[in-house]
Structure 1
């Protein structure tokens, strides 16, 4: 991961944002994918814009995208794309969705970006460097106890039945729960406004970009067993602004 990669990921987000903005709060085609999630022209236009730049400038790198699949998946470096994380929020005209772009090396996310193209909010995290929010340093806040923590998650219906009891136990121990927000919640963790995000059933493109953002701001992300997140993770994630929350959260989720 180099300075050139950071400049490139910003250009990719700029291109995606330019593709998305004309569709926001406009009329356009909506389809339902086999997993019952919605997809729009904006999702596809944004991912196509990102992939066009990568194919022209980084043809040796792999790509994993939500809408257009996998290219060169055995490459040492892989770009992971979720063009609109939070399509339901996008459809409702709520500017809480985001474009997620990550760069994996040896199957670990080393560079990640969360971009909200309507509010023009952008978090960038890179391994070994501090996370930035719109170019300024971002930092999580101290909160070492669940009883004081503000928890965010997209929605209770997104937890598989087997994971629901653990989440309910966790929710019963925190100070407050904020519903909705998709990837935007993780940016708010990085900026010190939310203490904890817990979700399940995520795909690689849902979480890869989030890891460098949260961890570069002083937080930590793991799976529900406390393991680092990577290409083989099972999609159950914890993001804590204060790393001291991780162990207590795991106990609540899995006991």
Structure 2
């Protein structure tokens, strides 16, 4: 039986609203910050944990057979083809700085493929969501269908990425620098917002290095639902995260990947 994606989308929207109620009491409150292990500073707050707890509890009540993969509380195995993929506060660095560029990410994979995704920023009032029928932007109750910007060559493109220092290997630094120099404009600090801006047709490329599945799985249905495309630039499985680049059109993505793969000859 074909899943009812509209009903599941409505449920995801409910999850986002409930998560916002749990997270917002910790925003701009100078809440305690803890650090996760890893090569870069990776903060976590009680806002992250509270948001995921409420999302998980609602999923477990409504769909007890569904699997769950969340950033803060790990993996719960399921007995169905569905897996919810959760990042309650994507962009915790922005969150602890008081900047409203963090977001709650909620994704749903079916038989291992991302099919439904949602990004919610409750301070701004932005919600972006996508499913097999398309992608939409809900700004404070006003809903519009989204489509990516097409017909843009790399020389006129705008790129968004979280931070250049996250491109930690020399090879990834080289790839990013080559692409940045070929484009018209590069902006930083947008976290998941940049991927939604590709879907909304405001920028042309969004990319980030070393993503986890919960960082990107919820965003892929938004991008593809709006007509965009995505790739893991080392050839890996997008659903597993990694080095992800998205673009508004096939031709722009191909141009970007080609220039990133080009290595300058030795003098």
TM above 0.5, yes or no, is yes
Please list, as runs of the form range in 1=range in 2, the aligned pairs for 1:79-94 lying within 5 A after superposition: 79-94=84-99
List 4+ stretches of structure 1 deviating above 6 A.
none
What residue in structure 2 maps to residue 248 of structure 1?
A: 255
What residue in structure 2 maps to residue 183 of structure 1?
A: 192
Length-normalised TM-score, structure 1:
0.95
- Segments of structure 1 that go 5 or more residues without pairing to the other structure are none
Task: Work out whether residues 85 and 108 of structure 2, in 8 Å CA contact, stay in contact via their aligned partners in 1.
Answer: yes
What is the aligned counterpart of 1:101 among 91, 102, 106? 106
Q: CA deviation at 1:244?
A: 1.5
What residue in structure 1 maps to residue 203 of structure 2?
A: 194
CA pair 216-149 structure 1, distance change in 2 beyond 3 A: same
Residue 156, structure 1, aligned to residue 156, structure 2: no
Encode CA deviations 1:49-90: one digit per residue, 9 max, x unaligned: 100101111110000000000000674210000001100111
CA pair 222-228 structure 1, distance change in 2 beyond 3 A: farther
Aligned to 1:200, what secondary structure does the other structure show? strand
Larger radius of gyration: 2
For 1:226 and 1:173, the matched residues in 2 are separated by: 22
What is the aligned counterpart of 1:120 among 120, 125, 128? 125
- Segments of structure 2 that go 5 or more residues without pairing to the other structure are 263-267
The number of residues matched between the two structures is 252
Aligned to 1:244, what secondary structure does the other structure show? helix
RMSD of Structure 2 on Structure 1 (CA): 1.5
Aligned to 1:181, what secondary structure does the other structure show? coil
For 1:170 and 1:239, the matched residues in 2 are separated by: 13
